[in-house]
Amino acid sequence: MAQKTVVLGVIGADVHAVGNRILDYAFSQAGFKVINIGVLASQEEFIHAAIETAADVMLVSSLYGHGEIDCRGFREKCLEAGIGDILLYVGGNLVIGKQDFAEVEKRFKKMGFDRVYPPGTMPEVAIADLHKDLK
């Protein structure tokens, strides 16, 4: 399989960089070409990076609890930009307060995300899913 490209970043006004670095390392070690756009990233920055690098997937992280707000309309913007079929993964502390993750997952999938991960998910889980989804 040719090397697949992953755009990775932390969306919105979020500055949590440690998890971003861990994901960068894990996906790089797993053989992916990682384009890490860092923290404080907008939807447009993700999309621009994905187009520029012909990425296969965008991995969106959020740890400060506002991921649901920051991710609204993301799939629609991908469609407008001509990359509507790109894989979209999201994970982290996506909402404020204690909410049932099954409900959170349902809301993000309704927004067009292919995979939704709760806080504390190990990178290996997303890597395994990505191998499945890219086949």
Catalytic residue among 16, 48, 66, 131: 16
131 is catalytic: no
Choose among 30, 28, 56, 60: nearest CA to 45. 60
Instruction: State whether residue 72 is helix, strand or coil.
Output: coil
16 is catalytic: yes
Radius of gyration over every alpha carbon of the chain, rounded to an integer in angstroms: 13
Give me 117's structure tokens: 């991960």
For residue 110, give every residue at least 6 positions away whose Cβ sits within 8 Å of its Cβ, in sequence order, or none: none
SS3 content of the chain, % helix, strand, coil (to 5): 40, 25, 35
Amino acid at position 56, single letter: D
Residues annotated as catalytic are: 14, 16
